[in-house]
């Protein structure tokens, strides 16, 4: 009799856990779009940059009255060199009035005197006037050092090189605003003028 009671308790407990798991799955929808780019750090095409742009809808957090859409949008970034994966800083949608976030571009800045710099350019779109209308840009810079003995990398986030130019809005607010570093060409031109900060 005692074993029968224990069996019944275990049956209902397992059923409760399964129900909880199904409920948690239904309360969240997630989709990801992957982008991959070959880069040349120390030799041609020796690195693979990956960005996984994921949108998750948390149904239990949706609150139409208070303007909460329950949507979490993140771009997960990493780079693979010599078969080893290095995780980089994620880019997250911060402003609920914005439409979406984007990976705009990725590139490498190199000269003969300094370690290579990985450049990652993101944007967050806003629409439409009389609200913000345009893109808010964010730049991540990484200094990349390679251990000559084992080939392993050390990546150091170095946004301080750009100072207040590491991010900025380009578009229309109360008036037209221009952010100059909104493409790789302009970022590299800026870095050419700031070589003293690359050490």
Distance from C-alpha of 86 to C-alpha of 14, rounded to nearest angstrom: 39
Q: Given this model, what pLDDT does residue 81 score?
A: 95
Distance CA(177)–CA(180), nearest Å, equals: 10
DSSP-based three-state secondary structure for 93: coil
pLDDT of 10: 40
pLDDT at 174: 83
Q: Is residue 21 part of a domain?
A: no
- Residue 38 in contact with residue 107, Cβ under 8 Å? no
Region 73-80: mean pLDDT is 96
Residue 10 lies in a domain: no
Question: In 28-178, at which residue ranges do the beta strands (DSSP E only) sit?
Answer: 28-39, 47-58, 71-81, 84-87, 91-92, 100-109, 117-126, 133-146, 153-157, 167-172, 176-177
For residue 8, is it within any domain? Answer: no
Lowest mean pLDDT among 15-19, 46-50, 133-137, 180-184: 15-19
pLDDT at 69: 52
From the list 121, 90, 116, 91, the residue with the least C-alpha distance to 183 is 121
* Token pair for 52: 């996984």
Domain hosting residue 33, numbered range? 28-197
Total domains in the chain come to 1
Binning the chain into helix, strand and coil, the percentages to the nearest 5 are 25, 45, 30
pLDDT in tens, 148-177: 888 899 999 999 999 999 999 999 988 899
pLDDT tens per residue, range 85-127? 999 999 998 766 667 899 999 999 998 889 999 999 999 998 8
Residue 47 CB neighbours (<10 A):
21
> Which of the pair, 63 or 118, is modelled with greater confidence?
118
Per-residue pLDDT tens digits for 33-61 = 999 999 999 999 999 999 999 988 876 65
């Amino acid at each position: 009799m005692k074993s029968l009671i224990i069996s019944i308790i275990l049956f209902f407990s397992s059923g409760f856990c399964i129900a909880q798991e199904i409920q948690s799955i239904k309360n969240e929808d997630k989709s990801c779009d992957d982008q991959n780019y070959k880069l040349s750090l120390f030799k041609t095409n020796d690195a693979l940059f990956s960005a996984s742009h994921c949108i998750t809808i948390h149904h239990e957090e949706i609150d139409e009255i208070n303007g909460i859409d329950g949507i979490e949008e993140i771009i997960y970034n990493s780079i693979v060199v010599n078969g080893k994966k290095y995780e980089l800083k994620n880019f997250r949608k911060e402003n609920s009035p914005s439409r979406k976030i984007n990976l705009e571009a990725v590139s490498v800045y190199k000269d003969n005197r300094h370690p290579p710099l990985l450049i990652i350019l993101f944007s967050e779109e806003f629409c439409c006037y009389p609200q913000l209308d345009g893109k808010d840009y964010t730049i991540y810079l990484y200094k990349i050092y390679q251990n000559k003995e084992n080939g392993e990398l050390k990546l150091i986030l170095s946004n301080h090189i750009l100072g207040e130019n590491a991010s900025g809005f380009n578009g229309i607010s109360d008036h037209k605003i221009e952010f100059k570093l909104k493409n790789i060409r302009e970022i590299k031109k800026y870095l050419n003028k700031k070589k003293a900060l690359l050490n």
